[in-house]
Every structure is written in structure tokens, then in C-alpha cells.
């Protein structure tokens, strides 16, 4: 990407989108455009087409999405599939229509089957049944990958897809109703510390294993892909390392400085038993993650304290 090229970040206020902007600014990219959801409703086809027709971006990072944890995905499946299908379809089609040079679509590791072989390679996609608790979101994200693939085949456009593992970082969502496991635990331990609570309740058994990637690492990797990768198969984005949720909870407890005990609510679902990505394809492009898990959690908690 030329440093003066016009780059559109869809979802610039989210954790991923804001991290992409931070990294682009650090690298000297000066022509970045974006719109708030009030300024541009990405679910409305005519509005998106008008935006692309007027702005004519050279490059697009499609990071806009409706996201949430197990509770949110279970409670609002119709919203998750509709909103995400509309957002990605409108942007991908308009990017083709108005001659975008390259588009990068962001999915999620939840696209893989519930019992996919671990670590999950890109070829595992569509090889089995999805995890029911986030099926609606996963189907929408799979559709985005397929859109990019088939537009690439039929129209010759350079549209690529990246599938991040579980992310955490600055600008994460700490709402206990809609957040993912990492920010939810940070919030729970912090609140318990402030309130003097003797215990923190954690959903499920704590046995599922999860992989976590610091969002600024992801942003750097995405820009690297935009400059160095072009193929129809999506690329797993992660660290290649995972950890049990109960181990994660102990690390967060330590970082926060909470002295009470952890209690498991086994009436709540665990979700997928394990989600570890095979990141060989990413590593072959010449990129590897830099931020260690505990260091990243400390950065996030420091940021959270500044805004609490």
C-alpha cells in the first residue's frame, strides 16, 4: 500500500478497527477514512454504495461487525446473523463495484467446526457441525469468506480474508452482558477487589482451552497481510499457543491484585472444548506475534483503570 493511498477502516471505533488505525498512523499512512454508525449504517445497501461512490477508497479493512460472547450470541442470534451478513455483503459488493484495489475481511476462529482437529488448519472450514452457542455469527462470517473467495474467482479482485483467534486489548468491551471471556473476567475481578467480595463466580468448568492474541499484534499482522499476501484461502491469525480458562483466570486475578477465591458455576455452558489455530500459513508470510499474554493483560488493565 502506498503511504498516500486512501484507506477505509470499516469499524474504526471497535477494538480491532482502532488498533489498525493506531498502527497505520505509526507506519506513516496519512489518508485514512472512516464513518461512525450514525453517519453510515453499513446494513443499508444504498447508503454504502453512495459512500463508496463518493469516497472511492483504494484499500478496505473490513473490521465492522456485531460481536459478543456466549450469552449475547445465544440471546440475539437473529441480530448476529442479519447484521453481519448485511454489513459484509454491502461492503464487499461495493468494493468490487467501485474498483477497490484490495480488501481484507476479518472473520473469527468460531467459523471452525465444534470438534475440529486441533490445532485448526484453514482447510478444516465447513468440515463439520458448528458450536451451537455462536452458530449464527459463525455462519455470517463463513459467508464473508466465501464472498471474498467467489468475487475473487469470478471478477479477479484482490479480496483476502483473515481469521483472528480470541482477541483482547485497548478499547475492548467490558459490559458483562455482551463481553467476551477476557474482559468479562478483568471486570469481575476488578469489581470484586473494589467491593471487597470474597469470591468471583466464573462460568463453566474452566477446563476449555483458548488462544488469545493482543489486538495491536493483530493490527500489525493485518497490515503485513495487506502488503504481502494474496490468495483465496483465508489466513488464521493467532499465537499458536493456548491456555485453560481457569489458568487465564488465575493470571487475571494476579494482575488485578484480587485476593479472594474463584468459584465455578457449572450450570453455565463451557462452549467449544478447545480452540487453537494452526498459524503456519501466517508464519510463512514472515510474521509472528510479539506480545506475551500476561504482558498484554497488564496493558489492558492499566488502560481499564485509567477509564474506570
Query: Per the annotation, does 16 bind a ligand?
Result: yes
164 is in an annotated binding site: yes
From the candidates 29, 59, 112, 137, which is the catalytic residue? 137
Residue whose C-alpha is closest to residue 58's, from 110, 18, 4 = 4
Q: 239: closest CA among 264, 217, 216, 261?
A: 217
Whole-number Å distance between alpha carbons of 179 and 54: 35
Residue 107 in marked binding region: yes
The C-alpha cell at 304 is: 481499564
108 marked ligand binding residue: yes
Asked whether residue 270 is marked as a ligand-binding residue, the answer is: yes
- Residue 143 annotated as lining a ligand binding site: no
Element (H, E) at 60: strand 59-62
Cα separation, 243 vs 256, whole angstroms: 19
197 is in an annotated binding site: no
Q: Does the annotation list 303 as a binding residue?
A: no
Q: Is 267 annotated as a binding residue?
A: no
Q: Is 166 annotated as ligand-binding?
A: yes
Pairing of strands 243-244, 209-210: antiparallel
14 is in an annotated binding site: yes
Determine the Cα–Cα distance for residues 140 and 90; give it in Å rounded to an integer.
Answer: 13
Query: 305: annotated binding-site residue?
Result: no
CA count, 13 A, side-chain hemisphere, 33: 16
**Contacts of 188 by beta carbon, 8 Å cutoff, 6+ apart:** 176, 200, 201, 202
282 is in an annotated binding site: no
Report the distance separating Cα 89 and Cα 140, nearest Å.
10
In contact, 243 and 170? CB cutoff 8 Å: no
The grid cell for 113 is 467446526
Is 187 annotated to bind ligand? Answer: no
The grid cell for 249 is 483466570
3-class secondary-structure state, position 199 = strand
11 is in an annotated binding site: yes
> In the annotation, is 151 catalytic?
no
Q: Which positions are catalytic?
A: 137
Binding residues for NADP(+) are: 11-17, 106-109, 141, 164-167, 180
Residue set of the binding site for substrate: 188, 203, 210, 270
Amino acid at each position: 500500500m502506498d503511504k498516500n493511498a486512501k484507506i477505509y477502516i470499516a469499524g474504526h471505533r471497535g477494538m480491532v478497527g482502532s488498533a489498525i488505525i493506531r498502527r497505520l498512523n505509526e507506519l506513516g499512512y496519512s489518508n485514512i477514512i472512516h464513518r461512525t454508525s450514525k453517519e453510515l449504517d453499513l446494513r443499508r445497501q444504498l447508503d454504502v454504495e453512495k459512500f463508496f461512490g463518493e469516497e472511492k477508497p483504494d484499500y478496505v479493512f473490513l473490521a465492522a461487525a456485531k460481536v459478543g460472547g456466549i450469552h449475547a450470541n445465544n440471546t440475539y442470534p437473529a441480530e448476529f446473523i442479519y447484521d453481519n451478513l448485511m454489513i459484509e455483503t454491502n461492503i464487499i459488493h461495493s468494493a468490487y463495484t467501485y474498483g477497490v484495489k484490495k480488501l481484507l475481511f476479518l472473520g473469527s476462529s468460531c467459523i471452525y467446526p465444534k470438534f475440529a482437529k486441533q490445532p485448526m488448519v484453514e482447510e478444516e472450514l465447513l468440515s463439520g457441525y458448528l458450536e451451537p452457542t455462536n452458530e449464527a455469527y459463525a455462519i455470517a462470517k463463513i459467508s464473508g469468506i466465501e464472498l471474498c473467495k467467489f468475487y475473487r474467482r469470478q471478477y479477479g479482485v484482490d479480496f483476502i480474508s483473515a481469521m483472528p483467534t480470541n482477541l483482547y486489548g485497548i478499547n475492548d468491551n467490558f459490559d458483562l452482558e455482551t463481553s467476551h471471556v477476557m474482559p468479562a473476567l478483568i471486570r469481575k475481578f476488578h469489581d470484586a477487589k473494589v467491593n471487597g467480595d470474597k469470591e468471583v463466580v466464573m462460568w463453566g468448568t474452566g477446563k476449555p482451552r483458548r488462544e488469545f492474541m493482543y489486538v495491536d499484534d493483530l493490527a500489525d499482522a493485518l497490515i503485513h497481510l495487506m502488503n504481502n499476501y494474496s490468495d483465496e484461502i483465508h489466513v488464521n491469525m493467532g499465537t499458536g499457543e493456548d491456555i485453560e480458562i481457569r489458568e487465564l483466570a488465575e493470571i487475571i486475578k494476579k494482575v488485578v491484585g484480587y485476593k479472594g477465591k474463584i468459584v465455578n458455576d457449572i450450570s453455565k455452558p463451557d462452549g467449544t472444548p478447545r480452540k487453537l489455530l494452526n498459524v503456519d500459513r501466517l508464519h510463512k508470510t514472515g510474521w509472528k506475534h510479539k506480545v506475551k499474554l500476561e504482558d498484554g493483560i497488564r496493558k489492558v488493565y492499566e488502560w481499564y483503570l485509567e477509564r474506570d
